[in-house]
C-alpha cells in the first residue's frame, strides 16, 4: 500500500512535470533543442501504457493509473503539437 502510494505520487509528478516545459515553449516559441524522435517515442510508450491502464480500469483494479497516464498522454500531445507549430521550416 505504502509503495503503491509512492507510485501514484510518482505518476502525478511525472504527468504534471511536463507543464513547465509547455509553458516555456509557449513563452519562447523555440523547440529546436527538443528531440522529435524522443517525443514520438514517449508518445508511443505512453500510448501502450494507456491500453494497459484502460485494461486495469476495466478489470476494476482502479482508475489512478488511467488518470495520471491520460494526463501524461495529453501533455505530450500538446508538446508535440507545439513542436510542429514552432519548428523552423
Q: Which residues bind its own copies (CB under 8 A)?
A: 3-4, 6-7, 9-14, 16-21, 23-25, 28, 30-35, 37-38, 41-42, 44-49, 51-52, 55-56
In degrees and rounded to multiples of 5, residue 70 shows phi and psi of: -65, -40
For the CB of residue 70, give the shortest distance to its own copies in the complex, in Å.
14
For the CB of residue 86, give the shortest distance to its own copies in the complex, in Å.
9
Which CB, 33 or 89, lies closer to its own copies?
33
CA distance 22 to 76: 9
For the CB of residue 24, give the shortest distance to its own copies in the complex, in Å.
5
Q: Do 80 and 40 contact (CB within 8 A), yes or no?
A: yes
C-alpha count within 13 angstroms, C-beta hemisphere, residue 36: 9
Amino acid at each position: 500500500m505504502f509503495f503503491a502510494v509512492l507510485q501514484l505520487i510518482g505518476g502525478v509528478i511525472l504527468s504534471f512535470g511536463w507543464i513547465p516545459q509547455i509553458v516555456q515553449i509557449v513563452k519562447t516559441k523555440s523547440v529546436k533543442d527538443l528531440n522529435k524522435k524522443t517525443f514520438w517515442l514517449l508518445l508511443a510508450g505512453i500510448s501502450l501504457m494507456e491500453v494497459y491502464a484502460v485494461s486495469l480500469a476495466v478489470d476494476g483494479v482502479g482508475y489512478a493509473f488511467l488518470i495520471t497516464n491520460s494526463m501524461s498522454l495529453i501533455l505530450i500531445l500538446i508538446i508535440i503539437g507545439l513542436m510542429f507549430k514552432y519548428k523552423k521550416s
